[in-house]
Structure 1
Amino acid sequence: INQYNNDQPIHPVINTFTTLIQEFNYMKIYEKDYAEIVYDRKLWNKLNLNIKGELAERRELQNRSSYNLVDRSQREYTPNAPVAVELPITSFEDHNALTTEVNLLYEPWVKFRMYNGRKQKIDTYTPKFRLKYVKGIPDVADSKVDFDLLELGYRHTFKIGIRALADVSLKAGKFLNDESLYFMDYKHFLGNRTPFVTTDPVGSFRMLDYYAFSTSNEYFTGSFHYQMRKFLFTRIPIVRLAGVRESFFTNYLATDFSNNYTEVGYGINYIFRLFRVEAVANFVDGKYKDYGVRIGIAANLDNLF
């Protein structure tokens, strides 16, 4: 059982809470039987190659229950089908799909050290460049997909002085061919509609709908995260000594239908070494749209439940 977005933007625990308590069944899933082959090789110290091939039989799933713990009379469960501007009907018939994905990761400033005769990677602030190519292969094993996606990514974490840390993430991509593909083959973005955020704070959106702007055309996303050891609350010595950090961030999405979607926010991080609280506002074509408060969980939820 897979989410339509393979990056898994919604944690099952969070989805259970919003479904049973709020009647918001945000997670949209489908079923597939598949065989996958993965090949990973370091071509040289700074360049890594990863190749995946998958043959899958994919099937749509329907809601089978409307059970809830708190009945919200003004709401009801939405169908188990994402809603997207570019593709209004995301339902699909059972089909086979043969796909392959090639990733090249280049880290130009990466460093290593020798320890007990073993080479170990040093966690340096090197930029990371990633080139991704995804191909849907038609007419093999009854495969019904035929598309080509090319994406270039950039991620860099670097210090600013001795008290600040900046994180930049950029991705740009384009479908060179969209002859035949299904909604799970579209490019999806890490959105969020719940009060909780469990994805990487850099490169993920806090208030974006999960699938509204998914696309089979060209796209660009940008994220900037700036974290400080001393700003407002962290000027209080006891707060700063507790390891609390403050941050500002902005996220941007450009597709044919996103209308320059932008988020800006302020956060207090590492509360009790575990949580972060963020205040966020979003804008469409430069015009204010909405605001929200988000709680981030630094630890991996899978280790807590």
Structure 2
Amino acid sequence: MCGAGAGESPPHVVVLRWWSGGAASSCGGDSDEEISQDVLEANIESLFDGNAQEINKFKSLCMGILELEEKCQFLSKENLELKSEVLNKDSHINILSLENNELKESVDKYRKAVLDLTICQAKIDNVFTLDVKSDIGFVENSSISSSSKTNDGVALDLTPIVIESLKPKSFVPTCHHCGKIGHIKPRCNIYRKTLKSPSSPPIVRELIRSKKKFIPTCHNCGKIGHVRPKCNAPKKTYVFKSLKNVKGKRRKTYIHTPSHDTSLKDQMQYLLSEVVKLSRVVIPQTISGSSSPPLVSNKKV
């Protein structure tokens, strides 16, 4: 083994030779007896194999460290993006809070307007009741308790509004010649035929006219079966004046009657009910803080 070249042998063999040569120089011929060369070579080979395994483990750990650094960089970028999103959300929340405050102010304005309208309705009802008269003289309807008065001294009847449906027109066109319903005498075909027939003399025409069946028709309510003097419906007041227009025809004019006042009251009640409906849509109950619906005055006329 000593005669072999050092460059041709592996590294662990060179180390073994160096160690064996030093041991031989120090101890002499007894080294061959204590340590055998084969055992030393096997130990050195095992040491080099363990070193290679440790190097591979170190390389794998370095690769894992690089991967963790890349993940850390990626997570840092995501963290920055999330911070920017949080800032945007905070700005959006501030804008929405400002809009909410503006809406609360507008709701308060609408609530005040509705309260003013209820007070105005009570004043208008009081004005309408001043026009009611009896046989003795001027009578004022004041059936409201003193406990329901406001700061302005106007009495309010806090009951919900009930809208009564307006009565339809009860006029039914009736022919006074044939007695049928649905047309009037000037548009009756039977009446026109009797007038246009050239063969019938005037006496026959009068006989034909006299044979028609009389059906009493009320000119006040428009119903069939009774005449105007026996009508139980409220009578209409008319004033006929000989007023002529451009074509020279006369026309009828009507005077002011209590029915006009009732129609105006109905219109006012309908408009106020529509205002209350709009206020209920605009003002939510959660903001107003009241569980009951808004109430307005409703006085029966």
Normalised by the shorter chain, which TM-score bucket? under 0.3
Q: Highest relative contact order (Cα 8 Å, sep 6+), 1 or 2?
A: 2
TM-score (norm 1): 0.18
Bigger strand fraction: 1
